[in-house]
Structure 1
Amino acid sequence: MKKNIVILFISILSVQVCLSQTIDTLKLNNYFKSLDSNNKFMGSFALMKDGKLIYKNQIGYSDIEKQKRQNENTKYRIGSISKTFTSVLIFKAIEEGKLDLDKTINNYFPNVKNSNSITISNLLNHRSGIHNFTNDAEYLEYNTKPKNETEMLSIISKFDSDFEPNSKSEYSNSNYVLLSYILEKTYNRTFSEILKNKIVSPIELKNTFFGGKINLKNNESNSYSYNGKWEKQTETDMSIPIGAGGIVSTPSDLLKFAEALFSFKIISKNSLSKMEKLEDNYGMGLFKMPFYDKYSFGHTGGIDGFSSVFGYFPEEKSAFALTSNGTNYDNNEISIALLSVLFNKPFESPSFKIYDLKSKDLDKFLGIYSSPSFPLKITITKSEKILIAQATGQSAFNLEAIEKNKFEFKQAGIVLEFDTINKQMTLKQGGGTFKLTKE
């Protein structure tokens, strides 16, 4: 689902650690302390080694307005990690003889384009061609309002197909909303009841459920984004994403779920192997994520100001998970730190040193930058002491000064370096370097 950024106020590190002599917990704790004291992240983390939970940690606030800190049972919306749960539920129904991977969806959704050619399998691995409704500009006009099945089907059905079914893969939340409705029709129960009966209760997940309106009294968390100051985010109504992004959980529960899944305690080995099979890098509710010579299966998630990721390493029976209600940093960097400690690999803690500039110092950078070799124009503006960049047709983002003429947007790995004498700006991202000139 939709992704944002997050955090506020310096918080005191709150840690619950299952001590283990096999990982460097001190280094990891200091890393999180640095994230915390520099307002980079709020959320929780967990590590599993050889099938055992060995580390838990949390930093920040679940409710900034009331200064309520996170604790080890703070619950977060996990966004698209919900898709892994939904895929497992579909395979449960298949094993029970209630569904078939090759069954087309026209009997369920006759108004969806190409429904007579789209199979349940195509929905699971994003090969349906059904347009992703959350990419539509109108999505943010209704995402906080309740929607029933008829309304959601009307939204999804109005789009033309993006491509012919099974011709390629392209991520679409619409696929898993439809899978949720198929489950409800199959069991004649709500998605929430199916989730509880088929997964949550059998493997005893204590802090996992289908979400509703955020309930702080139930130890759930608000979410936040950082725009010069921390701002509380709106709440997507969970009737919209359903099994595409509506589940609430914790890192510890996610690891317990992963261990049960990959130990064949929920579905069979044969079913799991189908979930793991990749086509165009998409599995059925799982992605394959490498780390050095190892690999994990898992998923990422983002909804409102929440973000999350989990990965399970089958060969090592080890796993990691993080859930966040506010990040002003790149979650991939945090995942690398967690995995580096888990597998005893080197990593460096960032210094987060910020170059202090006055508002008037930013004026020389302002303007519109372009290049024939770069497809977008970059507009540079400011808000008091904060430099802001915005590419054509995209959202604006705040930049942090790391040197006198160099700025970065860490979440996307973007670095901008200005040459004010020649009126040029060099943009670096993902190994690419582009030189743009001020118009």
Structure 2
Amino acid sequence: MFKKATCILLTIILITSFVTFQATAQEQNIVVKIDGEVVEFPDAKPFIDEQSRTLCPIRFIAENLGAEVLWNNEDKTVSIKKDDTDILLKIGDNTAVVNGVEKTFDTYPQIFEDRTYVPLRFISETLEMDVDWDGETKTVIITTPEKLAELSTEEHFDRYLTAMEKNKGFRGAVLVAKEGEILFNKGYGYANYEEKIKNTPDTLFAIGSITKQFTAMAIMQLYEKGLLDLEDAVSKYLPDVIEGDNITIRHLLTHTSGLVNYTDFLLEMVEAPEDTSIDFVLGLFKDEPLIFEPGTQWQYSNSGYVLLGYIVEKVSGVSYDEYLKENIFKPLEMNNTGTYYDKMEEDYAIGYMGITELTPVHEDEIVLKIAYGAGNILSTVNDLYKWDRALQTEKLVKKETLDMIFDIQEKMPESDMYTFDGYGFGWFIENNPELGKIVSHGGNTLSYSAQLSKYVDKDITIIITTNAGSYVLGPVEETLVDILMGNSYELPESLVEIELDAEVLKEYTGIYEYTKGFNIVITESEGQLYAQLPGQVKAEIYPKSQTEFFYKVIDAKITFNTDDNGKITGLVFEQGNTILETTRVGDAPQREIADIDKEIYEKYVGEYEIENIGIITVSVEDEKLYARLTGQVKLEILPMSETEFFYKDIQAEIDFVVANDGTVKGLVLKQEGLMFMAKKI
């Protein structure tokens, strides 16, 4: 009796799920196009499953993709064969055997009303077809190898970058040239989204640290004329720089000076300083202790290039802006290029943060006003190409001087973060085994990203300018090179958010360890999931499937790993070429805000010194308590008790040390399992 009731119950559940499935499939109205032609589904319709993957009836594979399909009812397997590709799928299993090799995918074949449904993207891509998804029209776009072969190189560039604009928030301009011929030159997105002004190859963008190429060139022009020597001590031009007798111009050019990076101090500035003179900027770092002895290490430093710009002024007798204009921009007819002070009144692209949700950023004014020789140039891809071509000639300096600029002057330490072999004068240098010598430099400000790369041995130039802050351009450049070399490439998948119940989201919360002391913390609040990396504020992440989540503010994603029972065991964070694989090691900390008298905040106001690290400044504003460590932004802290507080946006706590008489003696900062004692000063 009990067994029979159980069977009836299961039958009801299964029937109910089938009805829901059928209704969902009919109501979703998924469209499938192959090489631009709409495929008709007279009865059984494709649908999107709970993993956000499109499944289609197996008959579609046979009739529209030209494959031979065999169904084995005994072991519930599907065999798909096309040309030299054999695929074996099993109902309810997320693994397939492709040409004898087992592969895992993120959904599984299903049966409904004697119809077999298989994952469309997996099958199509395994058969070497290209798959894209248009979330607005709910259309799967399949392109066959035959159709792709008909596209020109220019059409491939545009196809990829259009998908990047639609799916990854790319906005800017791209120029690709080979052997002196421009192969592609086009803008994407908007220079001004509010007024719908489109980006073009002549749109003006801040190019950040690409400026260093021009600063180095100015120095080398003066060197070639005998007006300075690379071994000159900095003290010759600025006597009061700390250890200026031991720092040379060569050290500045190659990032081996040991000067502190002054842009680290900019985080403390909430508005542009009234004084933006070169003297003000030099004052930010010239008295700070060196971080290493000059010439003994390599460490990227914007301070060195600000100082180089100052030396250009001292030696030439004109301003840095004027020198570049008369000695580089005018001779090369780079009429749309200049420093921020030269171009600040012109219409240049508004900078934005975000990928799918954009926020205009106006704080870049601070950076551009005080970047000087480290990063204050604005330019266009067309003008930067004139610069690139001039570097093939002796228009600016002699060949021997160019060789010095593009030779490795300082080897760089090995790192997982980059593939460069060394640094020249204003250029990173890589000797790639397949592509030969590559000289390049990127540029980033708060809301602009840029890249200029010269593939010397193949005479290929790629120039990318964007009004997108912190945009990872490395993978974009790599794909453009693959297209140019005739290699295969992948289109970015669209970011379509699905709905997950708040109770389900809570299952993802926890502490995920990458290495000892480096944890990614996942928390949930009011139905929204947040991810927080060490030293960063927490950011919203959105579900694309049951295991894949994406950011809307940066081009990054998180994939959760599960065991055979569906229990979450870890996560993988991916941004560009950075991949962090973690293991779940514990639950996320649960904190509740205590209801205390806000007047108590006043006694905590003051400065607290952590020996050899910095000062924590505690302040009150609008009845809120804030803490700021030297070189960082101020962050709100919330009470757990009258003496215990936690940061609102990062995983850290502050405990105030209060004596019996109520006097505040100090505080304890707790973060990533470490404790830092700070004495009130």
TM-score strictly above 0.5: yes
CA contact (8 A) 1:74 1:220 kept: yes
Q: Does residue 287 of structure 1 match 2:432?
A: no
Candidates 415, 422, 434, aligned match of 2:582: 434
CA contact (8 A) 2:449 2:471 kept: no
CA contact (8 A) 1:390 1:396 kept: yes
Shifted more, 385-394 versus 118-127: the winner is 385-394
Match of 1:223 in 2: 351
Candidates 531, 540, 543, aligned match of 1:389: 531
Match of 2:230 in 1: 101
CA contact (8 A) 1:297 1:311 kept: yes
Name the CA shift for 1:228/1:312 in 2 (closer, same or farther; >3 Å).
closer
CA contact (8 A) 1:381 1:388 kept: yes
Candidates 354, 371, 376, aligned match of 1:246: 376
Match of 1:342 in 2: 484
Distance 1:409 1:329 in 2: 13
Name the CA shift for 1:222/1:228 in 2 (closer, same or farther; >3 Å).
same
Shift of 1:145: 5.1
CA contact (8 A) 2:443 2:451 kept: yes
Distance 2:551 2:428 in 1: 26
Candidates 256, 263, 267, aligned match of 2:397: 267
Candidates 163, 168, 172, aligned match of 1:34: 163
CA contact (8 A) 1:41 1:327 kept: no
Distance 1:89 1:28 in 2: 34
CA contact (8 A) 1:126 1:169 kept: yes
Instruction: Give the match's secondary structure for 1:167.
Output: coil
Candidates 264, 276, 299, aligned match of 2:406: 276
CA contact (8 A) 2:233 2:244 kept: yes
CA contact (8 A) 1:23 1:341 kept: no
CA contact (8 A) 2:202 2:380 kept: yes
Shift of 1:423: 5.3
Match of 1:303 in 2: 445
Match of 1:170 in 2: 299
Candidates 248, 266, 280, aligned match of 1:119: 248
Distance 1:290 1:400 in 2: 39
Post-superposition CA distance 1:88-108 (Å, at most 9, x none):
010011111111100010122
Shift of 1:62: 0.8
Pairs within 5 Å for 1:24-423: 24-38=153-167, 40-136=169-265, 138-141=267-270, 146-212=275-341, 218-226=346-354, 229-233=357-361, 234-237=363-366, 238-278=368-408, 279=410, 280=412, 281-289=422-430, 292-326=434-468, 330-358=472-500, 360=502, 363-365=505-507, 367-371=509-513, 373-381=515-523, 387-408=529-550, 415-419=558-562, 422=567
Q: Which amino acid aligns with 1:437?
A: V
Q: Which has the larger radius of gyration?
A: 2
Distance 2:495 2:304 in 1: 43
Shift of 1:60: 0.9
Shift of 1:365: 4.6
Distance 2:249 2:586 in 1: 51
Shifted more, 241-250 versus 397-406: the winner is 397-406
Shifted more, 43-52 versus 397-406: the winner is 397-406
Distance 2:162 2:304 in 1: 39
Name the CA shift for 1:228/1:315 in 2 (closer, same or farther; >3 Å).
closer
Instruction: Give the match's secondary structure for 1:141.
Output: coil
Name the CA shift for 1:102/1:319 in 2 (closer, same or farther; >3 Å).
same
Distance 2:567 2:240 in 1: 57
Match of 2:114 in 1: none
Post-superposition CA distance 1:154-190 (Å, at most 9, x none):
1112321110000011001000000011111111211
Distance 2:222 2:514 in 1: 54
Q: Which amino acid aligns with 1:284?
A: F
Distance 2:394 2:268 in 1: 37
Distance 1:359 1:283 in 2: 54
Distance 2:527 2:357 in 1: 12
Shifted more, 204-213 versus 397-406: the winner is 397-406
Instruction: Give the match's secondary structure for 1:262.
Output: coil
Distance 1:101 1:52 in 2: 35
Distance 1:41 1:366 in 2: 29
Q: Which amino acid aligns with 1:376?
A: F
Post-superposition CA distance 1:378-409 (Å, at most 9, x none):
22245777643112212434435343122245
Q: Which runs of no fewer than 5 residues in structure 1 stay unpaired?
A: 1-9, 11-20
Post-superposition CA distance 1:111-167 (Å, at most 9, x none):
322211100000001000001011236454355654212211211123211100000
Name the CA shift for 1:60/1:336 in 2 (closer, same or farther; >3 Å).
same
Distance 2:395 2:494 in 1: 43
Shifted more, 378-387 versus 258-267: the winner is 378-387
Distance 1:412 1:40 in 2: 8
CA contact (8 A) 2:259 2:301 kept: yes
Distance 2:278 2:486 in 1: 48
CA contact (8 A) 2:544 2:550 kept: yes
Match of 1:5 in 2: none
Shift of 1:317: 2.1
Shifted more, 40-49 versus 366-375: the winner is 366-375
Instruction: Give the match's secondary structure for 1:159.
Output: coil
Q: Which amino acid aligns with 2:449?
A: S
CA contact (8 A) 1:213 1:235 kept: no
Which structure shows the bigger proportion of residues in strand conformation? 2
Number of equivalences = 419
Shifted more, 419-428 versus 96-105: the winner is 419-428
CA contact (8 A) 2:352 2:468 kept: yes
Name the CA shift for 1:143/1:245 in 2 (closer, same or farther; >3 Å).
farther
Instruction: Give the match's secondary structure for 2:353.
Output: strand
CA contact (8 A) 1:228 1:386 kept: no
CA contact (8 A) 1:340 1:346 kept: yes
CA contact (8 A) 1:23 1:342 kept: no
Name the CA shift for 1:386/1:91 in 2 (closer, same or farther; >3 Å).
farther
Post-superposition CA distance 1:61-105 (Å, at most 9, x none):
111222222123110000000000110010011111111100010
Q: TM-score, normalised by structure 2?
A: 0.57
Name the CA shift for 1:371/1:383 in 2 (closer, same or farther; >3 Å).
closer
Post-superposition CA distance 1:330-376 (Å, at most 9, x none):
31121112222233222111222435134626631564404484322
Q: Which runs of no fewer than 5 residues in structure 2 stay unpaired?
A: 1-135, 137-149, 413-421, 588-681
Q: Which amino acid aligns with 1:415?
A: I
